[in-house]
Amino acid sequence: MASFKPTKIQVYPKLGEKVTQDTLYWKNYKAPVQIKEFGAITNIDFSPVAPHNFAVTAFTRVHIYGPFSQEPVKTFTRFKDTAYSGRFRSDGQLLVAGCEDSMVRLFDVGGKVALRMFKGHTKAVHVTDFTSDGYQILTGSDDYTCRLWDIPNATELNTYQEHTDYIRCGVTSKLNRDLFITGSYDHTLKMFDARLDKSVMTMDHGHPVENLLLYPSEGLLVSAGGRYVKVWDLLKGGQPLVSLKNHHKTVTCLSLGSNGQRLLSASLDRHVKVYNTTNYKVVHNFDYAASILSLGLAPDDESIVVGMTNGILSVKHKKSPEESKETSGQQRRKPSYRVFVKGKNYVPKQDDYLVSKPVKQHLAKYDKQLKRFNVSKALDTALETWIRRRKPEITVAVIKELDRRGTLKNALAGRDEQSLFQLLNFLIGNLVDPRFAPVLVTTAEMILDIYRSVIGQSPVVDRQLLRLQDLLEREIDYQKDLLEVLGMLDTMFASSIPRKEVPCSGISRSNGLGQGEASTSRPQLQAT
Amino acid sequence: MVEHGDIRVVHRGGSKINFREPVITNDSKFLLCASGECVKVFSTSTEECLHDLRGHTDLVTGVIIKPSNHLQAYSCSADGTVRLWDFTDGILIKTYVIGHPIYSIHASASHEGVVFVVTSMHADKRPDLLQLVAVHLPRSGDQMVEARELSAVLSDVSSNPLAIAFGRGGEFIASAKGLQLEVYIFRKQKAYRFFLKEDNKKGGRNTFTCVACHPKDDCIATGHEDGKIRLWRNFNQKKEYTYSTLHWHHSAVSSLCFTPEGTNLLSGGIESVLVQWRYNQEDQREFLPRLGAAITHIAVSPDGSLFFTSHSDNKITIIQSCLKVSAAIQGLVKGENVTTDLMMDPRSKSLVLNGKPGHLQFYSLQRDKLLYNLDVVQQEYIHESGLQQFEVVKAAFDASGTWLATVEERKQKGAEVELNLKLWEFDEQTQSFVLNTTISAPHEAQITDMCFCHSTDNQTTMLVSTSKDGHFKAWQLDAQAHTEADERPSWSCDFVGAYHSLVPECCCFSADGSLLAVSFQEVVTVWSTASWELLTTLSQPPKAIRNLCFGRLSCSKYLLGTTGNNLLCCWNLLTCSLEWSTSMDVSLLLADPISENMAAFCRQAGSTDLFVFKPSEPRPLFSQKAVCPGKVTRAIFAPREEMLESCEESSQWLNRSQLYFLTQHMDLMTFTTKVEEDRLMASSKQLVIDDSVAMTPFYLLLGKHRQQDSRDAQSISAERTPLPQGSVAIKELLQTPAHVLPSTSFLCSMFVQSLLISVTDPREEDKATEEEMESEKEEEDSEEEMESGTTRPEQAPLGRQAAESAAPALTKAQVRELRRVKKLDRSWFAGLLDS
């Protein structure tokens, strides 16, 4: 006697994102720690030396946070106005920050009072950075100039006046102490050599430049401005390499992760996107609550720090290996696991006589009803609220099974107002789903056939039927529109693609559908 | 024409065992089934077929145990004879010639020397009018007896044997036909007839389907077309008869049976549920659901401990009286048609075809036994007629047998076809196929053909399916796509091809897998599997291509095709030109996978001819006219387990593989050579059956082996005949009660020694044969049961001798101990054996 075969629930392919190695990697972070700052967070900079504290510039302060503390370990408050661009020197001892009041202040990380003040700019200074030797400071300001300062005697070394708009970003080369690059709202990126008085290279980004990033090898430069992220090859004289347009608002910040393997971009559209730096495809996406102004990534991706316009600083720490293992273990272990396993791992001795117990087959509720041929009850159980809402595929599978048994009509018939309402509700929710449509359309037709005579007797059912009608009319309109678009596309493709250049094998490898025409258009080679 | 005197077409396997009700012997050890032209004897404990009772020349239509002697059985056949058999030894005792085709046979204990047969006496006048006739079997010593003493009992009876039953040990006989129940009471010599109305109000059909009589009570149970069971009482009066109705079955009751004590009534039908009704308390019923297929017959063993149901899928289920299935005897399932082609499983070398609904069956041709059913559809089968359900329509194996592809199909009224393509991977651990990928709706219309790429060196496996929607698709296992370790590789579509929106019919891969040939009506397109380029087209107008086949091995450059206008074409792919073509109406063309040979079945004047040829040679290797009547559409080359060494030219093609084919009437036939038949005969002679023990493989292994009579025969089959001393030693070892045996370490070496073939001088062997002959003679004249003790004095010294020669390590004392132990108590054990 064969046992009852349960109803097969069709597994539909998931339409969402695929689980890749990257998604696993970037999801392996703890819940974010959220810290409220006084104003919009404009800059986040990680100290290059362990323990990798990070400086957060927000409103009139620069806070330094330790890697795991929720309170700032240090705060610099001696700014008269909004501070900008607090950055560490490569030894992590000094910190420089610009200010709205055009002053540039240099702090010792251990002290409180500014060590040096650099005066000279006439407008707000948004860019500050140390050169690679650590003795000079680069600043860029809204007065269209960028300047080099000598730290020991706090004097201005050089001024460059080539930009024609605000300078809002800049980087210094880590390999050459004389090279630095600035980006401005005049859409250009300029590379300067401190040994010369003018720029050595100019690149046109096409949009106001918001952020710049040099690869560790310094052969490639990444710029962000407008909705675009562009990569430039410096070794080929500033030739544009890639232009990425994955955000739908201005990209504000860039960062490199995983030792230069991944590029992160943050935008006002509240997303952080992770790109693969070999093919520049988006491999992961983070969502945040507000527009993002600044982004920082600790070495080895230990933490992701994001500053937002609403003054919230979000710090995500990576899970330690034990933690990530533990969570997966917890998922596997159900509360009653021990009870289940009790006695099951007992190995019988050699001379033991084994009395086998018949394995009880567990059946779902609807299967139990189907086994007893209670078709109406089976449909009722499959229409229970949580199944209907959460797992419509189960309901559809039961309906399909009833149809296969030829008893769907019996199951649908003889329902009262309440259950008919439920049934129609389910249909309205799922009828236009392309996965379920073939099954549910026949069901809907059957329901209309069966209950035609009672239309007009119950206002509740009538209302549902009208909704169903509306839904169908809308769907038909959509389909018509889609067909029109398809027709238009077809004509466009047909006119744009020259017939002879159809690569027969090339396309067919990519996806198996719709290439039949390509091969049929090939001339018949030879007939014997 | 090549001479082929030694090649014959024979029936092989796949016999039907559910044609008539199985008959159980009084000791419940054997089961007799009418099966084609013979009667098969099965053991109920091991489900093995013990022997075939062969002798009838037409379909066997009924079997019954002789009421006066429970070791003999009657069988009747459409050839007009009733034969009496000793079924334990498989010997034909007598043949009674009736002279008219017989449809069923009945007998009861109270009618000594009389059997009742259903036959058409007036064959020339009204062939559909059948009569129940009492045949007085003449007592005579002859083998062949003509039974002329016939007397009609009832006229106009049903040809269905289930519609006739004896009641109360033969006091009356009940017969039903159409809407009429007729009861004939022998004592009164009077028949009573009861009629039912054609249709009752609810539209149920009242036609009788089967009859069963209560063994102790005056009660007749009848089954009806509409699923009702009526229990008739008081039927020995014309007017005051009564009946009560039981209703559970939703469609016709096909079989009814009372248990021997009359406490329960068993019924079964299409629902494949065995229903047990309590007699006189009919509201108490028990069910045994999901027996697999519609129940056609029900039988109960005389002691009531076992029930036997035979099913429409050629199966007999053995059920204990507590309604628990204990075993099943399964034959080859043959539905109305074989939708999947015949295939060979490369691993188990078994024949694979679609069996019961939604399953693929694996059938061992060598053992004539169903190995297992693979559930392809994996859905609950609803036993109801007129319901459209999923059917397995196509299946294909890859070269190594690791992958199996199946297509299931469900046609709906007014809706499009539902299709599923499933790919199964062979699992080494469970030794069965495990579902790997399900592709729902692989094509928009029915799939016409499907084949795997048969090259062995290729890393990636490829499957091609052609469909009526005008496309062919190539499916490939993508190994690189799986990222996680626990996710196994799955199949996906690699290429979709079409040609001028014609419908592809067949597809075929070349032997090395580099070329794919797809026939689009009258055009054959050849594609490169590496780049999916259309390489060339071959066409032979004006009719569509029906079969397509690449040559193998040295002939792999040839592509053969048959067209609708009776043409067999052979193209050479090196020159892309037609090599030769010949005009014949080929219904099936197939290639031997392990040689260059190809077989073509041609239809000619109502029968089928076979040609076996090599594509490179103009002369056929073998041809036979009129292989079977009707059209052959399914055939398969099955590789042999051991090669034949035939050197005759005409039978060389059968050396490495065997050709099986299915006739129009779904009979599985094959070609055999003389050499093979000789070998079969030689091996079957060795088996002697002890009547007290069921013959099982284990028994055969340990049982007595008859020596070959002639010396030369012995020399041929020397390696297969274990030495008699060895088996005796084992027998002694096994017959001794376990608790009195010495420890195993003593016995081990002796046991192993006894299994080895020792070199013995012919003189000693002579003696052994003499002894064997003697015991044989004794066995043969043992009508009276022989005590096993009488033979023991002869055997015991022999066993001792063997033990001594085999195990010199045993000391004298130990041997003596062993002997004493052996002598101790064996009698009770022997008694157990004999009982």
DSSP A330-351: HHH--TTHHHHHTTTTPPPPTT
Confidence class of residue B713 from pLDDT cuts 50, 70 and 90? very low
- The answer to whether residue A17 neighbours chain B at the CB level (below 8 Å) is no
CB-based contact B135:B80 (threshold 8 Å): no
CB pair distance less than 8 Å for B496 and A515: yes
Assess whether B163 and B144 both reside in one domain. Answer: no
What is the side-by-side order of every strand in the sheet holding A239-244?
A209-214, A220-225, A228-233, A239-244
Return the percentage of chain B with pLDDT > 90, whole number. 9
Q: Are B339 and B354 in contact (CB under 8 A)?
A: yes
For CA atoms B329, B332, B336, B340, give the dihedral sign: positive
Give the pLDDT confidence score for residue B366 in this predicted structure. Answer: 77
| Residue A510, pLDDT above cutoff 50 | no
Which residue in the set A1, A516, A527 is minimally distant from B496, CB to CB?
A516
Q: Measured between CB atoms, which of B325, B384, B471 is closest to A516?
A: B471
User: Of residues A525 and B165, which shows the higher confidence score?
Assistant: B165
Residue B664 falls inside a structural domain: no
Instruction: Write out the two tokens for B616.
Output: 């490179």
Per the model's pLDDT, the better-predicted residue between B135 and B732 turns out to be: B135
Q: What is the 3-state secondary structure (H, E, C) of A467-511?
A: HHHHHHHHHHHHHHHHHHHHHHHHHHHHHHCCHHHCCHHHHHHHC
The mean pLDDT value for B658-671 works out to 82
Residue B280, pLDDT score: 86
- In contact, B550 and B558? CB cutoff 8 Å: yes
- Inter-helix orientation angle B812-824/B788-806, to 10°: 160
Residues 81-110 of B with CB under 8 A from A: none
Quick one: B314 and B371 in the same domain?
A: no
Mean pLDDT of A54-61: 90
B153 and B164, same domain (yes or no): no
Put simply, whether A507 touches B (Cβ < 8 Å) is no
- Cβ-defined contact of A512 to B440 (cutoff 8 Å): no
B683 reaches A (C-beta below 8 A): no
pLDDT at position B88 is: 85
Tens of pLDDT, residues B603-626: 877 788 888 888 888 788 888 887
Q: What is the CATH number of the domain that holds B72?
A: 2.130.10.10
CA distance B317 to chain A (A): 9
Q: Do B525 and B534 meet the contact criterion of CB atoms below 8 Å apart?
A: yes
Write out the H or E segment, with its range, that includes residue A189.
Answer: strand A188-193
- Dist CA B350 CA B366 (whole Å): 8
CA A337, CA A323: separation in Å to the nearest integer? Answer: 21
Whether the link from the prior residue into B542 is cis, omega within 30° of 0, is yes
The two beta strands, B114-119 and B164-167, are unpaired
Q: Is B250 on the interface with A (CB under 8 A)?
A: no
CB contact under 8 A, B534 and A525: yes
Look at residue B204 and tell me whether its pLDDT is greater than 70: no
Closest partner residue to B532 among A2, A505, A528, by Cβ? A505
Q: Which residues of B touch A512 (CB under 8 A)?
A: 473, 492-496
Give per-residue pLDDT as tens, A310-341.
999 999 988 887 776 655 544 555 556 666 66
Question: Looking at the complex, does the CB of residue B364 fall below 8 Å from at least one CB of chain A?
Answer: no
- Contact at CB, A8 and B378, closer than 8 angstroms: yes
What token pair was written down for B236?
Answer: 């020995």
Q: Is residue B236 part of a domain?
A: yes
Which residue would you say has higher pLDDT here, A340 or B163? B163
Q: Which of A277-286, B653-662, B699-708 has the lowest mean pLDDT?
A: B699-708
Local structure of residue B719 (DSSP, 8 states) = G
pLDDT, tens digit, for every residue of A169-202? 999 998 888 899 999 999 999 999 989 888 899 9
CB contact under 8 A, A516 and B497: yes
List, in order, residues 6 or more apart from B20 with CB less than 8 Å away.
Answer: B33, B34, B60, B61, B62, B63, B104, B161, B297
Range in A524-528, B534-538, B566-570 with the lowest mean pLDDT = A524-528
- Has residue B501 got a pLDDT over 60? yes
More confident of the two residues B2 and A80: A80
B324 and B354 part of one domain: no
Can you give the pLDDT at residue B201?
A: 61
Residue B277 lies in a domain: yes
Q: Which of B157, B177, B212 finishes a domain?
A: B157
Q: Which of A337-351, B568-582, B699-713 has the highest mean pLDDT?
A: B568-582
pLDDT score at B719: 44
pLDDT band at B640, cuts 50/70/90? confident
B61 Cβ contact partners less than 8 Å away, ≥ 6 residues apart: B20, B34, B76, B77, B78, B102, B103, B104, B105, B161
What average pLDDT does range B60-78 have in this prediction? 89
Average pLDDT over residues B824-832: 56
pLDDT at B49 > cutoff 60: yes
Co-location of B148 and B265 in the same domain: no
CA-based nearest residue to B389, from B400, B401, B378, B374: B378
Look at residue A469 and tell me whether its pLDDT is greater than 60: yes
Residue A521: pLDDT over 50:
no
Q: What are A200-203's contacts with CB under 8 Å, separation 24+?
A: A201/A234, A201/A237, A201/A238, A202/A238, A203/A232, A203/A238, A203/A240
Please give the average per-residue pLDDT across A103-108, as a whole number: 91
Evaluate if residue B776 carries a pLDDT over 80: no
- Evaluate if pTM is beyond 0.90: no
**pLDDT mean across residues, chain A:** 85
Segment 553-572 of chain B within 8 Å of chain A by CB: 571
Instruction: Determine the Cα–Cα distance for residues A102 and A107; give it in Å rounded to an integer.
Output: 16
- pLDDT digit string (tens) for B261-308? 889 999 999 888 999 999 888 888 899 988 888 899 999 998 888 999
Output the 3-class SS for B327-371: EEEECCCCCCCCCCCCEECCCCCCEEEECCCCEEEEEECCCCEEE
Please indicate, yes or no, if residue B630 is contained in any of the structural domains. no
The verdict on B183 and B324 lying in the same domain is: yes
**Averaged pLDDT, B645-674:** 78
CB B578 to CB A528 under 8 A?
Answer: yes
A2 to chain B: which residues are within 8 Å by CB? 290, 292
Which residues of chain A lie closer than 8 angstroms to B494, CB-CB? 509, 512
Residue B131 lies in a domain: yes
pLDDT value, residue A476: 94
B478 and A CB contact within 8 Å: no
Q: Read off the tokens for B171.
A: 């006091």
Q: How many CB atoms lie within 10 A of CB B93?
A: 14
Please give the residue that has the higher pLDDT: either B780 or B424: B424
pLDDT at A262 over 70: yes
Look at B498 and A512 and tell me if their CB atoms are within 8 Å.
no
Residues B315 and B348 in one domain: no
**What are the angstrom distances between the C-alpha of A301 and each of A257, A297, A319, B294?**
6, 6, 11, 67
Residue with the larger pLDDT of the pair B440 and B198:
B440
Write out pLDDT tens, residues B325-348.
888 888 887 766 778 888 888 888
Indicate if B198 and B97 belong to the same structural domain. no
Query: Residue B33 pairs with which residues in a beta bridge?
Result: B40
Residues A212 and A235 sit within 8 Å (Cβ to Cβ): no
B762 pLDDT above the threshold of 60: no
Name the domain count of chain B.
Answer: 3
Q: How confident is the model at residue A139 (pLDDT cuts 50, 70, 90)?
A: very high
Q: Which tokens belong to B301?
A: 């063993």
Task: Tell me which residue of B240, B181, B184, B178 sits closest to B205, measured CA to CA.
Answer: B178
Within 8 A by CB and 6+ apart from A523, the residues are none
**Cβ neighbours around A22 below 10 Å, total:** 17
Q: Which of B157, B178, B195 is the last residue of a domain?
A: B157
Lowest mean pLDDT among A110-119, A321-330, A478-487, B630-639: A321-330
Residue B789 has pLDDT above 80, yes or no: no
Q: Tell whether B481 is within 8 A of chain A (Cβ).
A: no
Q: Tell me what pLDDT residue A296 has.
A: 92
Residue at token pair 């209907």: A388
Task: Say whether both B129 and B183 belong to one domain.
Answer: no
Query: Strand B447-452 and strand B432-440: pairing?
Result: unpaired
DSSP for B208-224 reads EEEEEE-SSSS-EEEEE
Give the gap in angstroms from C-alpha A520 to the nearest C-alpha of chain B.
5
- 3-state SS assignment for residue B468: coil
Confidence (pLDDT) at B221: 92
In which domain, by residue range, is B267 found?
158-330
Whether the pLDDT of residue B660 is over 70: the answer is yes
Which chain A residues are Cβ-neighbours of B408 within 8 angstroms?
none
Task: Give the tokens for residue B546.
Answer: 């029906």
User: Is B560 among the domain residues?
Assistant: no
Judge whether B530 is closer than 8 Å to chain A, CB to CB: no
Q: Is residue B612 one of the residues assigned to a domain?
A: no
Place of tokens 């004879």: B81
Predicted confidence (pLDDT) per residue in A363-420, tens digit: 889 999 988 888 899 999 988 888 888 888 899 999 988 988 888 899 998 888 899 9
Same domain for B106 and B168, yes or no, is: no
pLDDT of residue A331: 52
* Judgement on whether residues B427 and B289 belong to the same structural domain of the protein: no
- Mean pLDDT of the region B163-179: 87
Helix (H, G, I), strand (E, B) or coil at A2: coil
Q: Across chain B, what does the average pLDDT equal? A: 79
Residue of B nearest to A506 (CA): B531
Interface size between A and B, measured as CB pairs under 8 A:
96
Whether B484 and A19 lie within 8 Å, measured CB to CB: yes
Q: Rounded to whole angstroms, what are the CA distances from B592 to B9, B343, B600?
A: 18, 12, 11
Q: Mapped to the 3 state alphabet, what secondary structure does A212-243 carry?
A: EEECCCCCEEEEEECCEEEEEEHHHCCEEEEE
Please report the pLDDT score of residue B491 as a whole number: 87
Task: Say if the Cβ atoms of B380 and A4 lie within 8 Å.
Answer: yes
Q: How far apart are CA B448 and CA B466, in angstroms?
A: 6
pLDDT band for position A243 (cuts 50, 70, 90): very high
B350 and B371 inside one domain: yes
Complex ipTM value: 0.73
User: Alpha-carbon distance B559 to B548, whole Å?
Assistant: 7
Q: How far apart are CA B136 and CA A247, in angstroms?
A: 101
Span A6-41, pLDDT tens digits? 888 887 776 666 677 888 888 888 888 898 988 899
Contacts of A350 (CB under 8 A, 6+ apart): none
Contact B379/A8, CB-based, under 8 Å? yes
pLDDT number for residue B832: 58
Instruction: Please check whether residue B256 lies inside any domain of the structure.
Output: yes
Asked if B287 reaches chain A (Cβ–Cβ under 8 Å), the answer is no
B824–A contact, CB cutoff 8 A: no
Which of A232-241, B197-206, B227-236, B480-489 shows the lowest per-residue confidence on average (mean pLDDT)?
B480-489
Range B237-241 contact pairs with CB under 8 angstroms and sequence separation of 24 or more: B237/B192, B238/B192, B241/B192, B241/B194
Contact B387 A505 (CB under 8 A): no
The sheet with strand B586-591 has its strands ordered as B586-591, B598-604, B607-613, B622-629
Give the confidence band of A291 by pLDDT, cuts at 50, 70, 90: very high
